[in-house]
């Protein structure tokens, strides 16, 4: 099993509509062999449609899906050589754990002894070798999902597709299984596409993250870039936490807490009112009786405390160390420590709030 490695996957200008509503709008993505890419976005953004197009469960209205050097757009799903794990476990209830894992191997007429040793190896890999004779209804949700993962890996697929596999699990199991998936994926160097609406999941597991909105890729980059350098206001708002600070733009800079800050990706030199999008960790809070900002609420997060601060320019969220005592109702001064800032126009703000 250690020899498994993946093929590249290319989604080339995919278009797909459901009853006139665009689910994929000229969606393009290239996944390198052995890479783990997460498709992240809100409900209805097209991420599952993209995954189903790769799996062969739907044929896109136009565009191509290429795996390795082969165009598989019109190839039926059973001939695509892909493994898939679903949100709802999808184990066959009439088959034991072992028979579930061996299902794909049986179809490929793998001999009984090889089948048995392969299923044992995979069940050991996911820590369920002692549960082989049990039936799906006798397992917990996390165990069922591990079996589903073993079943998908058993056929040594070129590509592993994960459709929100952790969404139905509780927080602790989700975190454990996430680490297990990541470790297995690295060990097998298997090309993997992971669909999720959970940003923490996407950022922690993926080599690259595709943030999707309205059937399009808003940004495709590493988790670090995505968080620190969001390309669009949608990404800035969807990934991580941002506060909206109403300020005056003059050319390529805006005034934030009395400091002139360069606008990130500024492509015009206009002036007027805009919203600056501030990350909580970029806002510095200093207690001051003469300050114009007032702390509305503080929430303890363990290593830090998140404050909600009311300013004349909007409500700003700021993270301060847990050791810094700032109580609700106290007056503070704010400053901004990042080199640049992303802005949104006021019209864009309305649109984003409606999402």
What residues have CB less than 8 Å from 14, skipping those under 6 apart? 24, 26, 27, 28, 50, 53, 60, 62, 63, 64, 65
d(CA 303, CA 308): 17
Is position 108 an interface residue for other proteins (rule: CB under 8 A)? Answer: yes
Residue 79 or 172: the one with the smaller Cβ distance to other proteins is: 79
Bridge partners of 317, per DSSP, are 308
Among 7, 45, 55, 126, binds other proteins (CB under 8 A): 55
| Residue 337: Cβ within 10 Å count | 11
Residue 146 or 151: the one with the smaller Cβ distance to other proteins is: 151
Candidates 247, 241, 221; CA nearest to 343 is 247
> Which is it for the CA torsion 255, 260, 263, 268, positive or negative?
positive
Q: In angstroms, how far apart are the furthest CA atoms of the chain? A: 80
Is position 107 an interface residue for other proteins (rule: CB under 8 A)? Answer: yes
What residues have CB less than 8 Å from 111, skipping those under 6 apart? none
Is position 78 an interface residue for other proteins (rule: CB under 8 A)? Answer: yes
- How many chain residues touch other proteins (CB under 8 A)? 32
Burial of 65 (0-12, 13-18, 19+ CB in 10 A): buried
Burial of 78 (0-12, 13-18, 19+ CB in 10 A): exposed
Residue 96 or 233: the one with the smaller Cβ distance to other proteins is: 96
Is position 151 an interface residue for other proteins (rule: CB under 8 A)? Answer: yes
Residue 19 or 354: the one with the smaller Cβ distance to other proteins is: 19
Residue 46 or 83: the one with the smaller Cβ distance to other proteins is: 83
Is position 227 an interface residue for other proteins (rule: CB under 8 A)? Answer: no
> HSE-up of 166 (CA within 13 Å, CB side)?
23
Residue 55 or 277: the one with the smaller Cβ distance to other proteins is: 55
Residue 93 or 321: the one with the smaller Cβ distance to other proteins is: 93
Is position 86 an interface residue for other proteins (rule: CB under 8 A)? Answer: yes
Is position 77 an interface residue for other proteins (rule: CB under 8 A)? Answer: yes
Question: Which DSSP helix (H) or strand (E) runs through 21?
Answer: strand 21-31
Among 33, 57, 141, 291, binds other proteins (CB under 8 A): 57
Tell me the closest approach of the beta carbon of residue 178 to other proteins, in angstroms: 21
Tell me the closest approach of the beta carbon of residue 107 to other proteins, in angstroms: 5
Is position 94 an interface residue for other proteins (rule: CB under 8 A)? Answer: yes
Binding site for other proteins (CB under 8 A): 55-57, 76-80, 82-84, 86, 88, 90-94, 96, 98-99, 103-104, 107-108, 116, 133, 148, 151-152, 155, 161
């Amino acid at each position: 099993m250690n020899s498994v490695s993946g093929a590249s996957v290319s989604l080339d200008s995919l278009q797909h509509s459901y009853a006139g509503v665009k689910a994929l709008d000229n969606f393009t993505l290239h996944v390198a062999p052995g890479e783990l890419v997460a498709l992240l976005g809100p409900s209805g953004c097209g991420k599952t449609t993209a995954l189903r197009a790769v799996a062969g469960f739907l044929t896109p209205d136009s565009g191509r899906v290429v795996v390795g050097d082969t165009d598989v757009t019109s190839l039926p799903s059973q001939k695509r050589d892909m493994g898939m794990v679903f949100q709802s476990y999808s184990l066959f209830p009439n088959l034991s754990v072992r028979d579930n894992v061996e299902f794909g191997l049986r179809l490929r007429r793998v001999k009984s002894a090889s089948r048995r040793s392969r299923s044992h190896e995979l069940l050991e890999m996911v820590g369920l070798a002692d549960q082989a004779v049990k039936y799906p209804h006798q397992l917990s949700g996390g165990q069922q999902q591990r079996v589903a993962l073993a079943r998908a890996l058993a056929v040594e697929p070129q590509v592993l597709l994960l459709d929100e596999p952790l969404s139905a699990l509780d927080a602790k199991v989700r975190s454990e299984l996430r680490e297990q998936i990541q470790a297995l994926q690295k060990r097998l160097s298997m090309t993997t596409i992971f669909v999720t609406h959970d940003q923490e999941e996407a950022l922690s597991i993926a080599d690259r993250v595709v943030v999707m909105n309205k059937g399009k890729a808003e940004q495709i980059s590493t988790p670090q870039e995505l968080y620190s350098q969001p390309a669009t206001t949608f990404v800035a708002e969807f990934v991580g936490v941002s506060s909206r600070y109403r300020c005056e733009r003059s050319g390529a800079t805006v005034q934030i807490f009395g400091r002139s800050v360069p606008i990130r990706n500024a492509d015009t030199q206009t002036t007027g009112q805009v919203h600056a999008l501030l990350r909580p960790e970029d806002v510095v809070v200093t207690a001051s009786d003469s300050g114009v900002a007032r702390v509305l609420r503080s929430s303890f997060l363990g290593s830090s405390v998140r404050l909600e601060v009311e300013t004349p320019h909007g409500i700003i969220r700021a993270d301060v160390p847990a050791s810094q005592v700032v109580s609700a109702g106290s007056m503070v001064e704010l400053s901004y420590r990042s080199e640049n800032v992303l802005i949104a126009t006021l019209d864009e703000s309305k649109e984003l709030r409606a999402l």
